[in-house]
Amino acid sequence: MREDVLRVEGLSTRFFTGEGQVNAVENVSFDVREGEVFGIVGESGSGKSVTGLSLVDLVGSPGEITDGELWYRDAELADEVREEFPDVVDGEYVDLRGVPESVRTSLRGTSLSMIFQDPESSFNPSLTVGEQIAEAVEVQQRASSRPRSTRARTDGEEYSLGSLVLSFALPSRRYVSEESRERAIELLELVGIPDPVERADEYPHEYSGGMLQRAMIAQALAGEPDVLVADEPTTALDVTIQAQVLDLLSELQAETGMTILLITHNLGVIARMCDRVGVMYGGEIVERGTLEDVFRDNVHPYTEGLLGSVPDLESVGGSLDPVPGNVPSLLDHEMEDRCYFADRCPKAMEACLERPPDTRVEADGDHVVKCVLTDLEYGESPPLPDDHFETEGADASDGGSNESADASDKSASPDGGDSR
């Protein structure tokens, strides 16, 4: 079996907004193996994007990772920080939450990189695409030209405001070198952009959506990352272009051997790309395992609802929207101590009014489900009446939860929550 490159344990990310505390990611654990595609699937507002951002340490204020460990495998890094931070090193693994921020910053782009849903808004509109990719190349080259021990301490300050000011006056002091520009053009070619020399000098608004997504992939590749977090990389694109971009990702993965964490709400994309999957609901991963575990042998009623009556993997397609009911509120004070899916679950029982623990379906397997059905058959505990939640908390489930779902949506987007 391939080794884990990333082990996430008990990750929690919260947003502290005017409306209250939003538990966007709640005690999430999963592992990602070297060279695989691990998928995270869920409705919008389920916390999957925030999970991705948490991995690359880009959760912006008012959000904060409040708990959990992020074990990342990097033998070199482990050797370097073992002296200073023995607690956060375990063999070849380093807990990124335990090392100084500067170390995490130095890993960004070169070890862990991320691409985003909307290529048009993910590029700076007033710099050429070539320049922006060249910046990423430069990050990589500066990182590899120096031993990491010095990098970790100085990165961030190494390129100071002073040198930036100087770079306006002296072209030779520019951050981006000529070689990096040339490499950017190669990368554009690699991701299949025609006339890369000319296109490198064009601005993002001169690109089509699909081309720009390719350019964003090129930008991520520039850092030669071990793990690429791809947050809905095809959602903003036309169907035919989607397929092309996914093919491109697969090809590049085969070439470079990188690991991809693919976040999407599209089951078709998951079925097509992933080796293993985690299903997110209400900020939690409710079921995870191999593609087969989740698509065929699923236990959690939410997973079942998502898949509907799809008989086999090949015919899975389209987006999610099969489960009736509202996306749950992630506002802390509205979250009750129960299975978060219970109000929508067709098999809800009295046993579900306590938080179900993560349970392995087979003792030695890694098909993990957060649902009482792993231990009980439906009916072993008294089923809840259909109107259980309506009578109990009408205000929290109707108008109230709609509004707060909005709020958590806002905060769950990487930076929307705090922009005003």
Cα–Cα distance for residue pair 369/179, rounded to 1 Å? 49
Q: Return phi, psi of residue 84, to 5°.
A: -80, -40
Under the criterion CB under 8 A, does residue 72 sit at the interface with other proteins?
Answer: no
- Residue 65 burial (CB count, 10 A): 18
Which residues are registered as beta bridge partners of 118? Answer: none
Asked whether 46 and 282 are in contact (CB, 8 A), the reply is: yes
Cα–Cα distance for residue pair 238/82, rounded to 1 Å? 48
Q: Which does 352 bind (CB under 5 to 8 A by kind): ligand SF4, other proteins, none?
A: ligand SF4
Under the criterion CB under 6 A, does residue 347 sit at the interface with ligand SF4?
Answer: yes
Which residues are registered as beta bridge partners of 93? Answer: 73, 90
Sign of CA dihedral 376, 382, 383, 387: negative
Give which of 171, 240, 255 is closest to 210, Cα–Cα: 240
Region binding ligand SF4 by CB under 6 A among candidate stretches 10-18, 124-132, 322-330, 338-346: 338-346
Region binding other proteins by CB under 8 A among candidate stretches 51-59, 263-271, 284-292, 293-301: 51-59
CA atoms in the 13 A half-sphere facing the CB of 337? 1
> Which CB, 137 or 286, lies closer to other proteins?
137
| Choice from 70, 217, 220, 372 touching ligand SF4 (CB under 6 A) | 372
Strands 112-115 and 227-231, by their bridges, are: parallel
Q: Is residue 311 reached through a cis peptide bond, with omega within 30 degrees of 0 on the bond before it?
A: no
> Which CB, 196 or 305, lies closer to ligand SF4?
305
Q: Which does 341 bind (CB under 5 to 8 A by kind): other proteins, ligand SF4, none?
A: ligand SF4
Under the criterion CB under 6 A, does residue 342 sit at the interface with ligand SF4?
Answer: yes
Region binding ligand SF4 by CB under 6 A among candidate stretches 73-81, 111-119, 235-243, 345-353: 345-353
Give which of 19, 29, 30 is closest to 274, Cα–Cα: 30
Region binding ligand SF4 by CB under 6 A among candidate stretches 63-71, 176-184, 241-249, 367-375: 367-375
| Choice from 60, 98, 322, 400 touching other proteins (CB under 8 A) | 60
- Closest distance of CB 151 from ligand SF4, Å: 46
Under the criterion CB under 6 A, does residue 345 sit at the interface with ligand SF4?
Answer: yes
Q: Which does 345 bind (CB under 5 to 8 A by kind): other proteins, ligand SF4, none?
A: ligand SF4
DSSP 382: P
Task: Write out the residues near ligand SF4 by the rule CB under 6 A.
Answer: 300-301, 339, 341-342, 345, 347-349, 352, 356, 371-373
